C-alpha cells in the first residue's frame, strides 16, 4: 500500500499566525477581519489556517492569551521588562480593552483573574492601584503610532512608571455621581445605552435589553432609533459635545496644565461610561460617524499637545505623554478609584506635569 506523504507544518507558524491576527484585529477590528483575510496575509490557504485554529473565536482567545502571558511574565520580572513588552506588543491594549469582551464570559473571567493576580503580586498592596495605572499608560501605545527611537521610548516609559508608582492615594472611595432623571424617553435610552455599551460592550447589548433598561419593550425602542448603530452614534455624539464644552474650551483658553488635568479628571470621573464607550466602540460606528468621531479625537489631542508641549521636546514625545495621561485618567476613573482627586493625581504623573 502506498504511504501518504507526511505533511510537516513550518516551525513557528502558529506564533506567526497569532502575531498577524493580533495586528489585524487591533488595526481593523475583530468583526472586519475574516479567516480568509488572515490566510491571504500569511500566504497560506484557509484550510492550513484551520489546522491550527478551529475558528476566529479561538484565534482571538489565543491572541489575547499570548499577550497576557507576556504582560504577566514582565510583571513578575521587573519594571523595565514591562516597558519592553509594551513596545513589542502595542496591539495588546486594544485586544484587552475592546476585543476580549467578545469572548465567552467564563473565558473572560479566567483572563481577568490572571491579570489581577499578576498585578496584586507586583503591587504588594498599597501600590496595586499604581500598577494598574502603569498598565493603562503603557497600554496607551495601542492608541497611536508615534515613532520614536527605542531608547527614548523606554526612557519615557520608565519615567512614567516611576512617577505613577510614587503616587499614593488617600481618602475614602468616592461614590459615583448621582445622575438626574432624564427628561424624555429618548434621553433615557441614550443614558442607558451609554452605561450598557461601556460595561457590556456594543455587541453584547440588544435593542430589547436597551428597552428593558428604561422600562419599555424592544419594539418601542425603534420609535426613537431605527438601529442599534444609530443609538451608538447618538451616545458618542452627545459625549463629544459635553467633552468639547467642558474640557476643550478650557484647553483652548490656555489654562495652566494642572487646572486642565483637574478639569479632565473631574469629567472622566463623572462621564466614565461615555469615555469607556468612546475608547471601545468607536470602530463600530458607520463610516461617516466614525470619521466625525476620529476628527474630534484628533482635535482633542492637538489641544492637549499645544498645552503640554515643553521647550526642546518633539511633538511625538508630547503626544506619547498625552495619550498616556488620557488612558490613565479614563481607566482610573472606570476602575472606581478614590474620586476625581485620585484620577487627577495619576493623570498628572502619567503626563509628567
SS (H, E, C) 76-115: HHCHHHHHHHHHHCCCHHHHHHCHHHHCCHHHHHHHHHHH
Range with top average pLDDT, 8-17, 25-34, 55-64, 275-284: 55-64
Q: Is 97 exposed, middle or buried (0-12, 13-18, 19+ CB in 10 A)?
A: buried
- Give the per-residue pLDDT at 1: 45
The grid cell for 104 is 465567552
Among all chains, which residue has been given the C-alpha cell 464644552? 245
**Alpha-carbon distances, residue 341 vs 140, 169, 265, 333 (angstroms):** 21, 9, 7, 10
Q: Is the pLDDT of residue 350 over 90?
A: yes
> Is 13-131's fold the same as 185-351's?
yes
In the prediction, which pLDDT does 11 show?
56
- In angstroms, rounded to a whole number, what is the distance separating the alpha carbons of residues 122 and 140? 20
pLDDT of 333 reads 94
The one-character DSSP state at 168 is -
Sign of CA dihedral 45, 48, 52, 54: positive
Give 329-344 pLDDT, tens digit per residue: 999 999 876 789 999 9
| Nearest Cα to Cα of residue 338 among 224, 218, 171, 116 | 171
| Pairwise CA distance, residues 29 & 21, whole Å | 10
Q: What is the dihedral of CA 347, 75, 99, 192, to 10 degrees?
A: -40
d(C-alpha 331, C-alpha 93), whole Å = 12
The alpha helices in the chain, defined as continuous H runs, are: 13-28, 35-42, 46-52, 56-77, 79-88, 92-97, 105-123, 128-139, 150-165, 185-200, 207-213, 218-221, 228-243, 249-252, 257-270, 272-281, 287-308, 315-334, 339-351
For the record, the C-alpha cell of 33 comes out as 477581519
Q: Does domain 185-351 have CATH number 1.10.287.610?
A: no
**Predicted local distance difference test score (pLDDT) of residue 122:** 86
| Model pLDDT for residues 169-183, shown as the tens digit of each residue | 654 444 444 445 445
Domain boundaries, the chain: 13-131, 185-351
Q: Which residue has the cell 514625545?
A: 317
pLDDT classification of 60: cutoffs 50, 70, 90 = very high
Q: Is 180 left (phi over 0), alpha (psi -120 to 50) or beta?
A: beta
Q: What is the mean pLDDT of the chain?
A: 89
Whether 2 has a pLDDT exceeding 80, the answer reads: no
Distances (CA, A) of 41 to 17, 18, 23, 65, 332: 10, 12, 11, 22, 37
- Environment class of 182 (CB within 10 Å of its CB; exposed 0-12, middle 13-18, buried 19+): middle
Domain 13-131 belongs to what architecture? Orthogonal Bundle (1.10)
pLDDT recorded at residue 176: 47
Amino acid at each position: 500500500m502506498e504511504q501518504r506523504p507526511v505533511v510537516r507544518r513550518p516551525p513557528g507558524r502558529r506564533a506567526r499566525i497569532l502575531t498577524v491576527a493580533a495586528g489585524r484585529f487591533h488595526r481593523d477590528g475583530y468583526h472586519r477581519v475574516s479567516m480568509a483575510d488572515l490566510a491571504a496575509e500569511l500566504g497560506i490557504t484557509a484550510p492550513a489556517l484551520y489546522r491550527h485554529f478551529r475558528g476566529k473565536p479561538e484565534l482571538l482567545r489565543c491572541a489575547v492569551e499570548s499577550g497576557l502571558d507576556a504582560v504577566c511574565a514582565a510583571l513578575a520580572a521587573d519594571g523595565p521588562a514591562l516597558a519592553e513588552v509594551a513596545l513589542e506588543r502595542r496591539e495588546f491594549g486594544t485586544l484587552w480593552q475592546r476585543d476580549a469582551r467578545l469572548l465567552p464570559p467564563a473565558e473572560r473571567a479566567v483572563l481577568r483573574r490572571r491579570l489581577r493576580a499578576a498585578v496584586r503580586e507586583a503591587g504588594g498592596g498599597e501600590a496595586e492601584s499604581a500598577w494598574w495605572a502603569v498598565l493603562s499608560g503603557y497600554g496607551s501605545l495601542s492608541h497611536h503610532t508615534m515613532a520614536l527611537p527605542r531608547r527614548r521610548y523606554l526612557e519615557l516609559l520608565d519615567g512614567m512608571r516611576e512617577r505613577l508608582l510614587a503616587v499614593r492615594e488617600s481618602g475614602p472611595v468616592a461614590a459615583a455621581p448621582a445622575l438626574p432623571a432624564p427628561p424624555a424617553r429618548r434621553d433615557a435610552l441614550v443614558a442607558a445605552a451609554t452605561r450598557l455599551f461601556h460595561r457590556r460592550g456594543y455587541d453584547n447589548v440588544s435593542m430589547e435589553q436597551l428597552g428593558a433598561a428604561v422600562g419599555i419593550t424592544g419594539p418601542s425602542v425603534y420609535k426613537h432609533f431605527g438601529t442599534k448603530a444609530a443609538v451608538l452614534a447618538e451616545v458618542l455624539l452627545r459625549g463629544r459635545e459635553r467633552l468639547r464644552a467642558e474640557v476643550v474650551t478650557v484647553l483652548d483658553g490656555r489654562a495652566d496644565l494642572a487646572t486642565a488635568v483637574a478639569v479632565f479628571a473631574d469629567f472622566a470621573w463623572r462621564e466614565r461610561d461615555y469615555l469607556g464607550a468612546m475608547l471601545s466602540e468607536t470602530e463600530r460606528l458607520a463610516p461617516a460617524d466614525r470619521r466625525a468621531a476620529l476628527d474630534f479625537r484628533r482635535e482633542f489631542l492637538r489641544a492637549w499637545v499645544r498645552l503640554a508641549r515643553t521647550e526642546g521636546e518633539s511633538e511625538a514625545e508630547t503626544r506619547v505623554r498625552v495619550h498616556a495621561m488620557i488612558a490613565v485618567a479614563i481607566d482610573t476613573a472606570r476602575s472606581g478609584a478614590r474620586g476625581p482627586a485620585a484620577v487627577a493625581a495619576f493623570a498628572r504623573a502619567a503626563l509628567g506635569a
